[in-house]
Structure 1
Amino acid sequence: MELLLVEDDNHVAAVLSAVLTRHGFGVRHARTGGEALQALTSEGAEFDLVLLGLDLVDMDGFEVCGEIRKRTGAPVIIVTARGDVRSRIHGLNLGAADYVVKPYDTGELIARIRAVSRRTVSKDIVEGVRTVLYLGSLIIDLPSRQVSVDNSFIRLTPKEFDLLALLAGRPGVVFTREQIMDGVWHNSGAWTGNTLGTHISSLRAKLPVPALIEAVRGVGYRIVPPAEG
């Protein structure tokens, strides 16, 4: 899981980054609100979650939270010393998935990160209570964001996983480019004309059956159900 840590204190960021890395997270540190927003919209940026401090040197953290929600579907956990009820309510109303007050136990923070990740499954991907998708021997576990075939895991980037899960949620259904860009990139603007094609090519190269993803000329893409292949 790739995290964007937005924290103005370099020492705090270094300690927390080290702890998160030991627990298997990839961490990128942004010291200011401007750096955070630039990181989110840079080419190839793919973050699963944002840890956001509120006391930043260039922007109010609440303003940054609002801008993040406009640019990405990645959930935001606010981590701050501001523990008053009004701040908590404001942060959650802005779209934060959780609000953690300093000082905190790092074990609890990691548990909260994982809890938010488990429940952050797009309604465009999951219907009803389906949390695991099967395509022949390919297994897509949505809560854990893991893909496996014959008990071997396939390492995907966050956007590659979102793309596969979106298409696999409705095998045989053609998704237009616009639907895919909206469902995976959330119209964030953090993509170019080649973004979708590049991700499709990379995803096909990692799948045991590249032809599982079929291009429908002039429209978009679909998953070919195993029975058809």
Structure 2
Amino acid sequence: MTTFAEQVLAAYRAGTRVAPEGDLPASAEEAYAVQSALSAALGPVAGFKVGLKADGPPIMAPIMAARCVDSGATVAVRDHMGVELEIGWKIVGPLPAADSDDLEAALARVVLPVPVIELVDSRISGPAADDPLVKLADLQVNHGLVVGTPLTAWDGSDFGAVRGQMRVGTRDLMAPQSSVPGGSALATLAAFYRHVGGHCGGLQPGQIVITGTLHPMTNLPAGSQVSGEIEGVGAVSVTLN
């Protein structure tokens, strides 16, 4: 494990932030190596977050099972916590080969949509916190995941533009209609699956892949009551304490 990875791991376990000393990740490969070291040290992976890029493969990061909670839970906040309402895909059957013809349709047969709130927080302080490769190494600043109920009555249709709401108290964080990043939640899942390979154990049944925020990420203080709903998918909530 590199010195940088050791510093991030210590901050993750202590619930603090660190101004890293020494060499920072200088490439995506180095950042993903840090992710792998962190996931090996922190235990089971409950899923992955995905970010599409117009000029290359998607970026990705594992989500630790120990930081996943059910809808309605209370989560401790250090000084603030970022929240993002997203569509997730829960893997509920054996996965097809990543090079399958019509991969989106093949994946649609083994997933269910689920509403989630991603919790966002960095383990890094100082100027390095704004470095994209440092963010990527730091699990793409994922803190955890709040998971709603999978939609068992899903008809197999994709999600592009969706209606919904995301509120803290009575304050609206999301427009009544929003677009899934990239315009297709299934295409995002397929792009990730083609790319992930065996990274951090690879994608496995039971895990959840989240597909990007439906509104600008919002930092909130302790005491915030957060509730989200995606029409046709479901509702999810969390209390920040």
User: Shared fold (TM-score greater than 0.5)?
Assistant: no
Instruction: Indicate the structure (1 or 2) with the bigger Cα radius of gyration.
Output: 1
Counting helix residues as a fraction of each chain, which structure ranks higher?
1
TM-score by length of 2: 0.23
